[in-house]
Amino acid sequence: MKNPLSAFNLLQGVRALPVIAIDDLEDAVPMADALAEGGLTALEVTLRTPVALEAIARLQRERPKLLIGAGTVTTGAQMKQCAALGVKFAISPGLTAALLEIAHELHMPYLPGTATASEVMLGVQYGWSEFKFFPAEAAGGPPMLKSWQGPFPEVRFCPTGGINAQNAGGYLSLGNVVMVGSSSMLPADALKRKDWAEIAKRTRAFTDALAGISRA
């Protein structure tokens, strides 16, 4: 079995993927607009809240130029719901054979989560070469990913978890890292105030910090 569609090809040129949780459906569009104003073109909307799928559907209708993906996909039922909505890509915090098989059947561009070499090996066995590395900082950070370049030369990652403007460069400079996922541009206090201008400002600072970082 081979991964039928490449998430990284779909997300070509994307270096930072905001990881967002939408509690209030009315926040979906202004939050996306703030992130786009800050220079981002793709969003990972996590399925952690009751309105997540509805928020994805709204964003797809009202902001069609943005690439909207679903994150925290942990069950086959969720994967099928995402496919039915026409979600552009799916991301999981972990990896299971069942999810790999369903993503393959649905032709879903998919980044399963990995934190160990054994999980990478299982994904490769199922035909995958693109993964989320999560939780990045807790799982070993750039040194862990660098150590995987030897045994897994064809594998590429999107590290997520504890990544911010200050440490993103340590990941993006690695040859096996395509992009990083982060929620650091969405601080809880700004979200609570619905301060979209502050979120746009923080997002711009994040994207500016990535400018000029080249892969090894």
The identity of residue 67, as a single letter, is: L
Radius of gyration of the chain measured on its C-alpha atoms: 16
Distance of alpha carbon 103 from alpha carbon 193, whole angstroms = 37
Least Cα distance to 3 among 156, 148, 130 occurs for: 130
Residues 6 or more apart whose Cβ sits within 8 Å of residue 69 = 7, 17, 42, 43, 44, 45, 87, 88, 89, 90, 91
Active-site residue, 132 included: yes
Starting at the edge strand found earlier in the chain, the sheet holding 113-114 runs: 113-114, 130-133, 156-159
- How far is residue 170's CA from residue 70's CA, in Å, rounded to a whole number? 26
Question: Does residue 177 sit in helix, strand or coil?
Answer: strand
To the query of whether residue 198 is one of the catalytic residues in this protein, the response is no
Contact yes or no for 73/79 (Cβ under 8 A): yes
Catalytic residue among 88, 130, 132, 146: 132
Contacts of 141 (CB under 8 A, 6+ apart): 159, 167, 170, 171
* Positions marked active-site: 44, 132
